[in-house]
Amino acid sequence: MVNSTMSDPASDPASDLTPDTASSAAPDAPPGLTHVLPAPYLLFLGDTTVAGFAKTAFGLRDWAGERCIGEYALPEASVSTGLPRLTPREAALGGARAMVIGVANQGGIIPQGWMPALLEALEAGLDLVAGMHVRLADIPRLREAAQRHGRRLHDVRTPPAGLPIASGRKRSGRRILTVGTDCALGKKYTALAIARGLAGRGRDACFRASGQTGIMIAGVGLALDAVVADFAAGAAELISPDAAPDHIDVIEGQGSLFHPAYAPVSLALLLGSQPDLFVVCHEPGRTAILGHAHYPVPSIAQVIEQTVLAGKLTNPAIRCAGVSLNTSAFTSEEAARILAETSQALGLPAADPMRGGLAFERLLDACQ
């Protein structure tokens, strides 16, 4: 059995959300964007040696932790989520219903070296869930094994049919977009945290997923990088439809306008989402674009300038609300100093949403 995970829009994705994200998930999913995935999950890390490529696993651990019971990795892997190491059989006996590929590698491929582990999961009675560019359902060995064992293959990176081209029409409601100096440095985490923080203040705010991990967390969304280029901005419009005037959509950003491979996706999302505000995400200390060492990471100021310049095409009033810094590699004292220096240099609030505190409250103030 194969399944693209596009379900009946009448299904209730909120039943799969964590307590922390349920209040900030999209209350009214656009038609065709609801995904219902079987939980609990076993997270598959493949042969990953770079933590940045395991962002799906880390995102699910941090934002849907109650749905993750363990991890499974090949001997070559050096990355771990810290969850219990389980085989697919052990996970199935422990209540798992699916193994999720927790890797977002370059090109979204499924290496042949992973095949024995994926087949092992199906044989153990687990569904497979992936957000890769290569669809599980397009691999004959997996498709045949799934049919033989009565399991499903869930490809969340499969866009719905009939996507429109962008209209450029100004939509009602307010929108915040997270943008980045690079990939895999906190755009999703920042959007989730801002949506949760605004909802906690009583604002009508929700998280809108534009990538595979966000979809797995929220149960709603569209993987923008799987859409044919001509329709990408139109898909971004669909992710964040018309809403009440005081409603705030906090949209998960993708890639970077300065990324040599992924800038087109970032631009389509920027133009289609028409953000009123954007938050720049950055990892202090990162000097080279992930996977493209010969391209330097731009400055935050460069990203602000480029985002305003491009974003004005569909929203002339676009402006930067602040900066989100991933300071996970620093001590509390070092992080506080970096945040203060960044805020002073740019004249904008700067915070690490995962640390919270007064700095994050100031960033929320700027997002209201």
Query: pLDDT band at residue 108, thresholds of 50, 70 and 90?
Result: confident
The last residue of a domain, from among 124, 155, 186? 155
319 and 207 part of one domain = yes
pLDDT at position 4 is 38
148 and 244 part of one domain = no
Query: pLDDT band at residue 242, thresholds of 50, 70 and 90?
Result: very high
Among 50, 44, 183, 49, residue whose Cα is nearest residue 110 = 44
Q: Is residue 10 part of a domain?
A: no
What is the C-alpha to C-alpha distance for residues 238 and 305, in angstroms, rounded to an integer?
26
pLDDT above 50 (res 366): yes
- 280 SS3 class: strand
Query: pLDDT band at residue 243, thresholds of 50, 70 and 90?
Result: very high
User: Looking at 10-14, 49-53, 110-114, 281-285, which range is the least confident one?
Assistant: 10-14
Q: In sequence order, what are the residues at sequence separation of 6 or more whose Cβ sits closer than 8 angstroms to the Cβ of residue 345?
A: none
Cis peptide before 40 (omega within 30 of 0): yes
> Which residues constitute the domain of residue 148?
38-155
180 and 151 part of one domain = no
CATH of the domain at 102: 3.40.50.720
Q: Is residue 13 part of a domain?
A: no
Query: pLDDT band at residue 348, thresholds of 50, 70 and 90?
Result: very high
pLDDT above 60 (res 1): no
pLDDT at position 332 is 97
Q: Is residue 12 part of a domain?
A: no
Instruction: Please state whether beta strands 98-101 and 153-155 pair in parallel, antiparallel, or not at all (unpaired).
Output: unpaired
pLDDT at position 343 is 98
Mean per-residue pLDDT, 167-174: 97
DSSP 327-356: -TTS-HHHHHHHHHHHHHHHTS-EE-TTT-
Q: What tokens were used for 156?
A: 């969340």
Q: Is residue 163 part of a domain?
A: no
Helix (H) or strand (E) holding 323: strand 319-325
309 and 203 part of one domain = yes
226 and 110 part of one domain = no
CATH of the domain at 339: 3.40.50.300
246 and 320 part of one domain = yes
pTM of the model: 0.88
pLDDT at position 249 is 98
140 and 209 part of one domain = no
pLDDT above 90 (res 272): yes
pLDDT at position 25 is 45
Q: Is residue 277 part of a domain?
A: yes
Q: How many domains does the chain have?
A: 2
pLDDT at position 206 is 96
Q: Is residue 290 part of a domain?
A: yes
83 and 132 part of one domain = yes
Mean per-residue pLDDT, 116-128: 98
pLDDT at position 23 is 37
Query: pLDDT band at residue 31, thresholds of 50, 70 and 90?
Result: low
User: In this predicted model, what pLDDT tens digit does every residue of 191-205 receive, in sequence order?
Assistant: 999 999 999 999 999
244 and 361 part of one domain = yes
135 and 108 part of one domain = yes
What is the C-alpha to C-alpha distance for residues 139 and 174, in angstroms, rounded to an integer?
41
pLDDT above 90 (res 27): no
Mean per-residue pLDDT, 42-60: 95
Mean per-residue pLDDT, 220-235: 96
149 and 187 part of one domain = no
Q: Is residue 14 part of a domain?
A: no
The last residue of a domain, from among 155, 186, 203? 155
The last residue of a domain, from among 155, 187, 215? 155
pLDDT at position 291 is 87
Q: Which residue has the higher pLDDT, 13 or 74?
A: 74
What is the C-alpha to C-alpha distance for residues 22 and 24, in angstroms, rounded to an integer?
5
pLDDT above 90 (res 52): no
Mean per-residue pLDDT, 338-342: 98
178 and 143 part of one domain = no
pLDDT at position 107 is 84
